[in-house]
Amino acid sequence: MKIYIDADACPVKDIVISEGTAQHIPVILVTSISHFSTVEQPAGVETIYVDTGAEAADYRIMRLAKKGDLIVTQDYGLASLALAKGCIVLHHTGFKYTNDNIDQLLQSRYLSAQVRKSGKRTKGPKPFTEENRLTFQKLFKETLLEATNQTN
């Protein structure tokens, strides 16, 4: 198992790195070259830089991910592709993407895009809160425990 983070705007990288490396699970940050950093990552963490294109990180993650890997993303399209590949997919606000909820999420995204195309405004995402952070941390720990128990 590996953990992939769609890392450009992910507010929970520190949680994923801390918990993942504590479990000796490789963590791969996939981010745009426009977010290049010289910050040294801990052992077990790799950073992959991709072009600045809109879907470049998503394409790279899908090329690398295997069935059973864990992916952290806020992108519903990437989540849908990853679920189809047999990956475990989490949103940074603390919910798990599933085959039961992904269609509704994609439909909602599509309808919002249609409203914006017609010239109207839609609400953006809600601000990330400490409650979101704690909810994600709890879900992430539970998911890691469940996934590592299945592989043992």
Q: For the residues of 120-135, what is the DSSP string, one character each? A: -----PPPP-HHHHHH
- Tokens standing for 114? 């249609």
Give residue 51's pLDDT. 93
Reported in sequence order, the residue ranges of the chain that DSSP labels E, i.e. its strands, are: 3-6, 27-32, 45-50, 70-72, 88-91, 95-97
- DSSP structure class, residue 43: T
Give residue 6's pLDDT. 95
pLDDT tens-place string over residues 48-73: 999 988 789 999 999 999 999 999 99
Give me the residues of the chain with pLDDT under 70, please: 109-110, 124, 151-152
Altogether, the residues listed in the chain come to a count of 152
| Complete domains list, the chain, with CATH | 3-151 (3.40.50)
The pTM of the full predicted model, rounded to 2 decimals, is 0.87
